Structures are given as structure tokens and as C-alpha cells.
């Protein structure tokens, strides 16, 4: 599987879902958006407990993902690396474009777009860096990385300085095949060696921690910082959804998708302007309620 660029290069979209039923509904929107906005083949690793009908399309292939019952909340996130490994086994594509099951394509994306975005590097992700004034800026994530990710992985040298460090969001990942194979080999070996309970203090250690460590220390400078449009989220970008968004992501801090978010994913894929109109309407209603409350109190 894999769709060519005309230069012998190809891209496959990868996603996965396990566990709660709404993850499968969200993943269905991810798959539909990839079929709508790309010419790529789409592979979805799907938990055996999936009870919904998935799209029937010649470019889409669901693959059963059998997983042992989760002994720790981190395990359903760490399954991402099994999904990526399975994708590599079932596709010969040169590039993998991975999307979490709460992310959708919002406009056309070509294989040339993927190759260009990587800028000749092995890996591409968007830095999770909220707008100015947010308490969760780069310094906040750098502190988390130094006190949780690095101790978990047994890092001994000094951490990358703040001006060099990048906290990438792993909800959308672009990767060259060979590099992704190396990442999966290393990560799955580490996960197996460290056992099921991935946690430092109260903080879960998940897929994003492993990818941070790879991109910042194991293979520094391997990752391209993609522009915002590849992983656009209301929690780290203002003006959501901005015009020009390629992939819209409804991340909600590991709490899982909601029924309303399933509708939002569908709308963002079909026409991001629907979300913008809904936000304007909601803001207008909020203002009216505030004006009414002010008039009543006066």
C-alpha cells in the first residue's frame, strides 16, 4: 500500500483506536477525513472490541489490534508504537503520516506537502507551545521533561537547554520509514523492559515522553518543527480554527473524545468554517446572557 508522489515516494496514513466506544467513533471521522482530503492509503489498527461499522473503501484497511487488558492508564497510549509497527509491516510507503483518533484532515494534503514539511529530516511534529500568557509554555514543559521524562528513561547527561528544547505534540507525526522503524524498535524494547506501570510521581509516562526523548536527546536535530497547520488545536493555538488548517486536533488532555467532539471532528473535516460560525454564535449568546444579567442586577 502507499500512494506515489511521482518521484518514487509514497505516504500512508496511520491511526488506531482501542478501549472506550467513542474512540472508535472518533477514529472513523479520522479515516473519513483522510479518504476525503488525501489520495493516500489509510491503515487503522482497531481494537477487537470495536462495535461500529467502519468505512468501506479500496484505500482503507482496518487491522485487528489484539491487546492485553490495560494494567495502567499509560498502556492505551503506548499502543501507538504497536500501531506504527503494524503500519510498517502492512505498508511499503516511504512516509508515514500518523494521526491520533481525535484529529482530522481539514483540507487537501499531498505527498509533496509531507516531503516538503519534513525539510529533509527524519521526523516532523508541531511544537506544543501555547499563546503568550499561558502558564503552560515551553518552560513549563521543559520542567516536566527534566523531572519526569528524563528520570524515567535514566538520562545521565544534562538536559537540553530551554532555548534548544522543543516539546512536540505527538497527536500528528510525519516520519520517514527507516527512522520510524528505529523509533519503534527502541521504544518497544524500552516499554517491555520497564513494565506496565509507566508513571513518575503522579505523572503518567506515555508515547509523547518517548518521542520527546528521541527527538531532543537520542537523535537531536532529527525532527522538523512543523508549522501550526499540521496539528492545530484550541489548547495551544489562538483563533481556532484558523484559516489554512491542514489537520485539526481536538486534544483534551487524555480524557478521551466526547459525543459533541465527534460532531465537531466531522464538521472540521467537511468545512472548518462551521466551527468558526458555531464559536461566534456561542460568544454572542454569552454576551447576551451577560448583558441580560447586568440589566437585571441594575
What's the pLDDT tens digit per position in 10-20? 999 999 998 88
Instruction: Flag whether pLDDT at 220 surpasses 50.
Output: yes
Q: What is the Cα–Cα distance from 219 to 92, expressed in whole angstroms?
A: 24
Instruction: Flag whether pLDDT at 295 surpasses 80.
Output: no
Q: Place 29 in a pLDDT band, splitting at 50, 70 and 90.
A: very high
Cell 483518533, residue located = 101
Q: What is the Cα–Cα distance from 245 to 108, expressed in whole angstroms?
A: 10
Whole-number pLDDT of residue 296: 63
* List of domains in the chain: 3-273 (3.90.550.10)
Whole-number pLDDT of residue 74: 85
Give me the count of residues in the chain: 298
Q: Do strands 3-4 and 168-176 pair parallel, antiparallel, or not at all (unpaired)?
A: unpaired
Q: Which of 68 and 173 is assigned the larger pLDDT?
A: 173
Whole-number pLDDT of residue 73: 76
Whole-number pLDDT of residue 4: 44
The pTM of the full predicted model, rounded to 2 decimals, is 0.90
> Mean per-residue pLDDT for 70-79?
80
Instruction: Flag whether pLDDT at 22 surpasses 50.
Output: yes
> Mean per-residue pLDDT for 230-247?
93
Amino acid at each position: 500500500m502507499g500512494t506515489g508522489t511521482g518521484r518514487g515516494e509514497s505516504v500512508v496514513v496511520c491511526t488506531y483506536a482501542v478501549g472506550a466506544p467513542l474512540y472508535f467513533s472518533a477514529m472513523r471521522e479520522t479515516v473519513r477525513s483522510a479518504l476525503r482530503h488525501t489520495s493516500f492509503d489509510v491503515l487503522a489498527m482497531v481494537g477487537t472490541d470495536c462495535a461500529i461499522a467502519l468505512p468501506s473503501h479500496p484505500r482503507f484497511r482496518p487491522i485487528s489490534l489484539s491487546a492485553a487488558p490495560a494494567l495502567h492508564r499509560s498502556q492505551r497510549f503506548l499502543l501507538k508504537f504497536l500501531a506504527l509497527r503494524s503500519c510498517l509491516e502492512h505498508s511499503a510507503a516511504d512516509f508515514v503520516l500518523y494521526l491520533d483518533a481525535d484529529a482530522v484532515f481539514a483540507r487537501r494534503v499531498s505527498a509533496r506537502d509531507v516531503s516538503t514539511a519534513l525539510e529533509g529530516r527524519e521526523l516532523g511534529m508541531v511544537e506544543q507551545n501555547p499563546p503568550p500568557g499561558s502558564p503552560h509554555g515551553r518552560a513549563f514543559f521543559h520542567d516536566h521533561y527534566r523531572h519526569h521524562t528524563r528520570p524515567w528513561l535514566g538520562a545521565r547527561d544534562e538536559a537540553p537547554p530551554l532555548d534548544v528544547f522543543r516539546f512536540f505534540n505527538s497527536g500528528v507525526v510525519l516520519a520517514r520509514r527507516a527512522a520510524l522503524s528505529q523509533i519503534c524498535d527502541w521504544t518497544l524494547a524500552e516499554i517491555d523492559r520497564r513494565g506496565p506501570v509507566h508513571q513518575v510521581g503522579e505523572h503518567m509516562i506515555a508515547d509523547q515522553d518517548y518521542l520527546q526523548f528521541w527527538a531532543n536527546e537520542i537523535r537531536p536535530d532529527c525532527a522538523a518543527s512543523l508549522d501550526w497547520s499540521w496539528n492545530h488545536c484550541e489548547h495551544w493555538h489562538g483563533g481556532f480554527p484558523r484559516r489554512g488548517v491542514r489537520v485539526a486536533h481536538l486534544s483534551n488532555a487524555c480524557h478521551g473524545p466526547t459525543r459533541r467532539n465527534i460532531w465537531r471532528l466531522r464538521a472540521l473535516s467537511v468545512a472548518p468554517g462551521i466551527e468558526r460560525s458555531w464559536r461566534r454564535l456561542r460568544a454572542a449568546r454569552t454576551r447576551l446572557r451577560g448583558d441580560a444579567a447586568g440589566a437585571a442586577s441594575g
